[in-house]
Amino acid sequence: MSNTSTFPDWHGTTILAVRKDGRTVVAGDGQVSMGQTVVKGTAKKVRKLAGGRVVAGFAGSTADAFTLIERLEAKLEQYPDQLARACVDLAKDWRTDRYLRRLEAMLIVADKDQILTVTGVGDVLEPEHGVAAIGSGGNYALAAARALVDVDGLDAEAVARKAMGIAADICVYTNGSLTVEVL
């Protein structure tokens, strides 16, 4: 089987955002894999932005994600306390700029009031049920969080941690080394 790409076949990342009872949590695992090999187990794929008022998690190419996060920070400075507007402006630039259009990453961005998924095809999506996920184990984490979010006695952080644990048990590209940021 030949791979025509000159780039390594990097896999990994599960990013999950949960909003419950006025708290928002973004969690990301730490695994980075190349093919069948775990290259790093403690990568930090979740970052606080805008003086700690916004949290962003990324899946995909790290360099591409850092470029997008830098652009997002500039948009947040341009539109303070307007997360949706900053994300829509970023998505517009990402879709129309020749350089940005080639970036291969996805973002989950959250503040105290909302969660948004931002993609390179111009999508800025606010999830239903207060839960969003991206990455290799995203569907597993999303399903688990959706099942757990209505459980009494579990706050947003507990839901995120349990759902990420379930994803790590199922997805070989996800591990239990978590970065968790709470707003």
How far is it, in rounded angstroms, from Cα 146 to Cα 124? 20
Structure tokens given for 52:
């700690």
160: left (phi over 0), alpha (psi -120 to 50) or beta: alpha
State the pTM of this model: 0.92
Please state the domain extents for the chain.
10-174
Give the pLDDT confidence of 39-70 residue by residue, as tens digits.
Answer: 899 999 999 999 999 999 999 888 888 999 99
Active-site hit among 13, 14, 117, 179: 13
**Residue 13 known to be catalytic:** yes
Give the pLDDT confidence of 1-36 residue by residue, as tens digits.
Answer: 444 444 444 457 899 999 999 999 999 999 988 888
Cα distances from 104 to residues 16, 58, 121, 144, in angstroms, run 19, 10, 10, 26
Pick the CATH number of 10-174 from 3.40.50.720, 3.65.10.10, 3.40.50.1370, 3.60.20.10: 3.60.20.10
